[in-house]
Amino acid sequence: MISDPLEADAGQHIREALADTKACGRLLLTGDPTMRRLSHHQVAVDSDTAGPPATPVVLVEPVVDRVMPLDQGRYSLTMAIPMKLGLTPFRPYRKPETAANWVIRDGTPWELLDPTGAVVARFSCQPNPQWRAAAIEQRQVVLLYGCRLGVRPPDGVPGERYHIGVRDGELHASLASGAVLAGSVAYTDLRPGAKASPERAKGGIRRLRLRTE
């Protein structure tokens, strides 16, 4: 969904963009840190097989793309503000770099925080145990932030037509076109009773391998 760029002046557009934190989220695991084989269809299983652990990925898709009119067209504040604060355009297909002081908070709801501590996005999702175990072990997750990541069906598209193939096609088209911001961000578990200490959480977490079918 795109906001109406003619409804307000520039200052109001910016204030509304900063205040709008409504988003949809999805958590994925991938065995490829470059995201080349990232898919919405996943079968993650515990494994003691030697090798690198699976990479936990969080997709954050704003519900509304807040745009502001400029002389030469529209300017997406939804994408421009996070980019000015340290997220960088995804580069096909390279492992995203660290986004300093950005944080994903695991709680109810989940939250994405920028380096100033402001909430950029709030969303609900249900992580599987493998995703959460990988995030706790690594203390970082890969963030992909954009308006078309295969998370939320476009307006007018019934859910049954928004199947895995369509979701993956949308996700990888956005990754290839530069319409996605990315970064490796810190992970914090705020669930009641969660063991926040990495040292205490480290033992007993098994490495994961990912099988995509």
- What pLDDT does 100 receive? 97
132, pLDDT greater than 90 = yes
- Quick one: average pLDDT of 70-92? 91
Under the banding of pLDDT at 50, 70 and 90, the label for residue 8 is low
18, pLDDT greater than 80 = yes
21, pLDDT greater than 50 = yes
CA 48 to each of CA 127, 139, 141, 200, 205: distance values in angstroms, whole numbers, following the listed order: 21, 20, 21, 20, 10
Q: Is residue 19 domain-resident?
A: yes
Q: Which domain holds residue 195?
A: 10-211
Q: Is residue 5 domain-resident?
A: no
Single pTM value for the model: 0.84
Q: Is residue 4 domain-resident?
A: no
Q: Is residue 174 domain-resident?
A: yes
At residue 155, the 3 state secondary structure works out as: coil
The chain-wide mean pLDDT, for the chain, equals 85
- Quick one: average pLDDT of 26-31? 94
Q: Is residue 100 domain-resident?
A: yes
Q: Is residue 3 domain-resident?
A: no
- What pLDDT does 143 receive? 98
- Quick one: average pLDDT of 9-36? 91
Domain count along the chain: 1
